[in-house]
Amino acid sequence: MSRKVHNAVAHALNPNESLQKILAEVEPRFVLQPGVEELLLDMASDFVASVTEASGRLAKHRRSTHVEGKDVQLVLDKNYGISVAAKKKLHVLSQKAKPAKTSVHTHRIAMKRKALAALQTQRKKAKH
């Protein structure tokens, strides 16, 4: 990751508010040591850069010049196991509705099963 991207991501993650202020909102008694705060910011920066980079590659793979929400959603889901809830699903993979079974289809399956059972019975009788 380039230093320019790293700095831009770090700035976006920490514009005017430190992690200590965020932690104080959650639990006022806890205090982050300076090294821990820096480590967490670096990890967050690396995470954002990694997701952005992978999303860009995915957009390029589908021959687009724009990264879309479905690119980011797929990267988060497949690479990190993070499911992003959305009102509208942005990317659906192979979730085709199965056609309804008709009575003709059900009848054919029943006839095949009956014929198969009869064949197995004949084979058992032939062995004995």
Q: Which pLDDT band, with edges at 50, 70 and 90, does 16 fall under? A: very low
How large a percentage of the chain has pLDDT more than 90?
A: 34
Mean per-residue pLDDT, 92-112: 75
pTM metric for this prediction = 0.53
User: Helix/strand/coil (H, E, C) string of the chain?
Assistant: CCHHHHHHHHHHHCCCCCHHHHHHHHCCCCCCCHHHHHHHHHHHHHHHHHHHHHHHHHHHHCCCCCCCHHHHHHHHHHHHCCCCCCCCCCCCCCCCCCCCCCHHHHHHHHHHHHHHHHHHHHHHHHHC
102 vs 115, residue with greater confidence: 115
Q: Where in the chain is the domain with CATH 1.10.20.10?
A: 3-95
Please give the CATH topology (third level) of the domain spanning 3-95.
Answer: Histone, subunit A (1.10.20)
